[in-house]
Structure 1
Amino acid sequence: YQNRLSTALRGGRGPDIAQLKAYGELQPFIEGGYLDALDDSVTELKNMPDAALGGARGRADGKLYGVPYSVPMMGVFYNEDIFSAQGIEVPKTYKDFVAACEKLKAAGITPIANGGANGSAWELEIGVGVIGPTLYGPGFYDEMMSGKATFEDPRYVAALKRFAELKPYYSDGFAGIDYTTATQQFIGGKAAMFFGGSFENGSFKSQNPKLKFSIFPFPADDASTKLYTSAFSDGSYGLVSESQNKEAATKVLNYMASAEFAQAFADELGWPPARTDVTVKDPVLSKMMEMAKNSTPYLTLVGFRWQTPTASSVLQSEIIDMVEGNVAPEKLAADMQAAVATWFKPKQ
């Protein structure tokens, strides 16, 4: 999609309103002069939280070039019927989580549907995003941005290690399982848990309306530890500079920034909308939005996809080997840091 949109805009054949990616993947369209800033024309943007707006800003000028539509967060989806049948409660500690996995495995149930084969290693990156905040905490992102911490920090390495040590509980044949297969294992009741983003909510419901599931934040070692979840701005809708219908397009964008649109977005898709002034009817979405109150930026996406090589590209290329024991977590972390060090300059 990015390539098609870029080709259309360069050729003067772009749409009036373009669906845009966030953060670093948005910047080339801003730098190319293909989008109008919306700070003055879309007044409802002032009612959106910074967590939503951050992904739609130009890095150089700080202006807003898109109307965000969702702020997904991440957690552990679980099958409520399986948990109930096996006498398992939502784990309060990591020890409880492992004990639950052992009990499920002994019962012949895949504890965690997981796999990143065939180009879907981004799902494994999400898994690290699910686990990471419980180990490196809410302030780690700011430490990374300031240069106080790096990917080689023991706290980030610990997140990689924890993701790898759960391999015995992942889908059989983990290295050959892709995202589609893993989701079908969970949707079909063959697996008890799934590491995922809130965008899965509507998809799970539409594919299996009878599936009873919910979500919880990944537990920490100590039950008293405040739990955090990774969150990010998923994308936005922008006004193409060469649009011949700017007045009408701006009206549409103002509607898309409204509370009315956010409510419809939540009701129809089951995703967390960009605005928080909505009435949530879906119990799973309600739980997600409650979890999102204690969120920290999805580290590799929000902070390190601005230029290439990205932290994500290195993580995705090596994470299966890390889980399989062929690459040490410390080596993966060092490779990620070496990659982003070629372009990342800490904020002073």
Structure 2
Amino acid sequence: MAVETFRTQLPSYLSSNNPPDVYTWYAGSVARQFAKKGELLDLSHVWESSLSNYSPALKSLCTDTNGKQIFVPRNYYYWGVWYRKSMFAQWGVEVPATWTKFLDVCKKIQTKGVPAVGTGHQGTNAWILAGWFDYLNMRINGPDYHVKLLAGADSFDSPKVTTVFDTWKQAMPYFDPKGAATDYNLTFTQLAQGKVGMTLAGSYILGALPENVLGDIDFFQFPIIDPSVPVGEEAPTDGVFASARTQNSRTVEAFCSFIARPEVQRDWIAVAGGGNLPCNPGAPIADDVHTKKGKDMLERAGALTQFFNRDSSDGLQETANAALAEFLAKPNDAKRIQSTWEDAAKRVFTS
């Protein structure tokens, strides 16, 4: 079944009198919304017996507002700022750990006649800008606030969001001015060719790059802006939850425990590919530098978020795309754009 069709029909499945027992879907806010309606089975026992070695961040991601675990994570993937090691060496720059140093790197790359940051947010590809918003908001206001904002608990025209836009403006001169006319996948080609310095993306980028440059490709953690803020990382996570109306709870729990096993997740990753990582920390992973580095980064994270639409709704993703694309085109209109974004968000949350 196509993802969008399943997404549309899932609420009907869960609310029906005789629903399917188990579903493959997303962790985080998406699962919590169903749990809040009493539609998901409490899987806390499964966590106690089979997932005790999972990271606290993953456990939190799979916990509802009442403190019950309602999701078993199977696979996730990491995000980072990707670059070519040889080009950094050629340009005389080093990997930046902080926002200030990131801006310095951008400035130096720009002097070489190359846009420091590629986005490729043409048309429907504007969703990638939500990744920038996610990280900036988490690094400035913290992952807890970020998730609450996306759930409608604060407004997009708040002073906290204004600070996000003000900080983003500092990097705006270094973004590719042709980003709005560039396809997202073309940005990967530009990165491989040294025509842009860096790009923010998930580990799926590795499958879109030529094999002859993979050994030269690396990533770094999105720079720290405020060291006092807990470090959150984007980690879109897939797995299973179960219907609270199931008549086979013991069988369902056994199946969920099976999904959590390291060898099962190993086999799943072998088939799924796409830069995915097993959620079980004891599951073997590919013997390559990117995979090991990405898994370590996620396991050290103070919190995991899911990417904009997974932490909110598909409807709000559309409003974000429009707002953020306009912001990149007209950064001086940020306050008006924030107000328009908030108005659109209110319609989404009340519809």
Normalising by the smaller structure, the TM-score range is 0.7 to 0.9
Q: Tell me the number of residue pairs that the alignment of Structure 1 and Structure 2 aligns.
A: 339
SS in 2 for 1:130: helix
Find the aligned partners of 1:118 and 1:342 in 2 and give their Cα distance.
22
1:261: which partner in 2?
264
> Superposed, which structure 2 residues align to 1:111-122 within 5 Å?
111-122=116-127
Q: CA 1:65/1:140 → structure 2, altered by over 3 Å: closer, same or farther? A: closer
2:319: which partner in 1?
314
The amino acid across from 2:231 in the alignment is: Y
Task: Indicate the percent of aligned positions where both proteins have the same amino acid.
Answer: 18
Cα pair 2:155 2:342 within 8 Å, conserved: yes
2:79: which partner in 1?
74
Find the aligned partners of 2:189 and 2:247 in 1 and give their Cα distance.
44
Cα pair 2:320 2:341 within 8 Å, conserved: yes
Cα pair 1:52 1:71 within 8 Å, conserved: no
Of 314-323 and 23-32, deviating more is 23-32
SS in 2 for 1:261: helix
Q: Deviations over 1:181-230 (max 9, x none)?
A: 22332245432211123x3365256x5353222222333568x7778343
1:200 and 2:204 are equivalent in the alignment: yes
Find the aligned partners of 1:192 and 1:12 in 2 and give their Cα distance.
54
Find the aligned partners of 1:214 and 1:24 in 2 and give their Cα distance.
30
Q: CA deviation at 1:114?
A: 0.4
1:22: which partner in 2?
27
Q: CA deviation at 1:122?
A: 1.8
2:163: which partner in 1?
158
Q: CA 1:132/1:285 → structure 2, altered by over 3 Å: closer, same or farther? A: farther
Q: CA deviation at 1:12?
A: 11
Question: What is the TM-score with the length of structure 2 in the denominator?
Answer: 0.73
1:214: which partner in 2?
218
Q: Deviations over 1:238-290 (max 9, x none)?
A: 45789999988765543321133345566755434323345654322333334
Q: CA 1:37/1:218 → structure 2, altered by over 3 Å: closer, same or farther? A: closer
2:101: which partner in 1?
96
Find the aligned partners of 2:132 and 2:152 in 1 and give their Cα distance.
24
Cα pair 2:25 2:240 within 8 Å, conserved: yes
Of 48-57 and 282-291, deviating more is 48-57
2:234: which partner in 1?
231
Q: CA deviation at 1:305?
A: 1.3
Structure 1: unaligned runs, 5 residues or longer = none
1:2: which partner in 2?
4
Find the aligned partners of 1:95 and 1:31 in 2 and give their Cα distance.
41
Find the aligned partners of 1:295 and 1:71 in 2 and give their Cα distance.
16
Q: CA 1:158/1:272 → structure 2, altered by over 3 Å: closer, same or farther? A: farther
Q: CA 1:134/1:36 → structure 2, altered by over 3 Å: closer, same or farther? A: closer
Find the aligned partners of 2:121 and 2:159 in 1 and give their Cα distance.
25
Find the aligned partners of 2:321 and 2:150 in 1 and give their Cα distance.
21
Question: Match for 1:285 among 274, 291, 308?
Answer: 291
Find the aligned partners of 2:147 and 2:41 in 1 and give their Cα distance.
29
The amino acid across from 2:95 in the alignment is: V
1:191 and 2:191 are equivalent in the alignment: no
Find the aligned partners of 1:266 and 1:303 in 2 and give their Cα distance.
21
Find the aligned partners of 1:127 and 1:337 in 2 and give their Cα distance.
18
Q: CA 1:48/1:81 → structure 2, altered by over 3 Å: closer, same or farther? A: same
Q: CA 1:36/1:202 → structure 2, altered by over 3 Å: closer, same or farther? A: farther
Q: Deviations over 1:3-52 (max 9, x none)?
A: 24654875999987542133444467668998655444674244433533
1:168 and 2:165 are equivalent in the alignment: no
SS in 2 for 1:85: helix
Q: CA deviation at 1:321?
A: 0.8
Q: CA 1:44/1:203 → structure 2, altered by over 3 Å: closer, same or farther? A: farther
Q: CA deviation at 1:324?
A: 0.7
Q: CA deviation at 1:89?
A: 0.7
Structure 2: unaligned runs, 5 residues or longer = none
> Superposed, which structure 2 residues align to 1:245-260 within 5 Å?
253-260=256-263
Q: Which has the higher helix share?
A: 2
Q: CA deviation at 1:117?
A: 2.2
Find the aligned partners of 1:153 and 1:249 in 2 and give their Cα distance.
43
The amino acid across from 1:283 in the alignment is: V
Q: Deviations over 1:132-156 (max 9, x none)?
A: 3333346644886999975444443
Question: What is the TM-score with the length of structure 1 in the denominator?
Answer: 0.73
Find the aligned partners of 1:275 and 1:90 in 2 and give their Cα distance.
29
The amino acid across from 2:279 in the alignment is: A
2:135: which partner in 1?
130
Q: Deviations over 1:51-101 (max 9, x none)?
A: 334555566x66545421234443312211211222211124434323322
Cα pair 1:116 1:123 within 8 Å, conserved: yes
SS in 2 for 1:276: coil
Q: CA 1:339/1:274 → structure 2, altered by over 3 Å: closer, same or farther? A: farther
